[in-house]
Each structure stands twice: as C-alpha cells, then as structure tokens.
Amino acid sequence: QSALTQPASVSGSPGQSITISCTGTSSDVGGYNYVSWYQQHPGKAPKVMIYDVSNRPSGVSNRFSGSKSGNTASLTISGLQAEDEGDYYCSSYTSSSTLVFGGGTKVTVL
C-alpha cells in the first residue's frame, strides 16, 4: 500500500488560511469516508484534528476544517496562528482493511 501524497511543506502568515492536500486512490481516500487528519508537535504524540473527512472532535478549534473531492482530501486551517505550526498527517482506511498515512506536511507560520 503506497503512502498518500501530501505536500512536504506549506506556510502562511498569521491570520491567513492554508490548505493541505492528501491524494490517494479509489481504493482508499476516494472509496471511503474514513479520512482523518492529525497534528503532531515535536516530541509529542499525534492529535486528531479531523475524522471521517470533515468531523471535528470536541475541543478542536473550528478554524480547522476538512473536505474531500474524488481521491483527494483537504485540510484547511483558517486564521492561522503560531500554535498551528507542526507536522500534519492524513490517513485513510483502505480496501485491504488496512490504514495508510500520508507522508506528512510541515506547516510553518511566517
């Protein structure tokens, strides 16, 4: 199972919006609504930000939103803040009943 494709890095100024893409195939992202997004700060465990494509867990800021079109899922962070810096990973359930992650995107707040 190949990793999902994410941009290596995305940056933005405070207050701006950024979008991270996550491209898979019809056997994973395009075939199921089990796409999640995780934020990871250095030395820390990942934290779920979005699950099932567009659902936000309680306690996660509404500045984070998710969507999907075809084989590509997206995470948008609006009103970018310094604390949003970190690594972001997408994941998807697959037709083999396994799970695949994206390669990760480093978000930098300029």
Partner 1 sequence: EVQLLESGGGLVQPGGSLRLSCAASGFTFSSHAMSWVRQAPGKGLEWVSAISGGAGSTCYADSVKGRFTISRDNSKNTLYLQMNRLRAEDTAVYYCAQDKNDIAGATGFDYWGQGTLVTVSS
Q: Does 3 bind partner 1 (CB under 8 A)?
A: yes
Closest C-alpha to 32, from 102, 96, 88, 106: 96
Token pair of 96 as six digits: 């083999």
Distances (CA, A) of 15 to 1, 11, 32, 40, 81: 37, 12, 32, 21, 7
Task: Report the residue from 25, 46, 60, 85 that binds partner 1 according to the rule CB under 8 A.
Answer: 46
**Residue among 16 and 41 whose Cβ is closer to partner 1:** 41
From 11-19, 63-71, 73-81, 89-97, span contacting partner 1 (CB under 8 A): 89-97
Contact set with partner 1 (CB under 8 A): 1, 3, 34-36, 38, 40, 45-48, 51-52, 57, 87, 89, 91, 93-94, 96-104
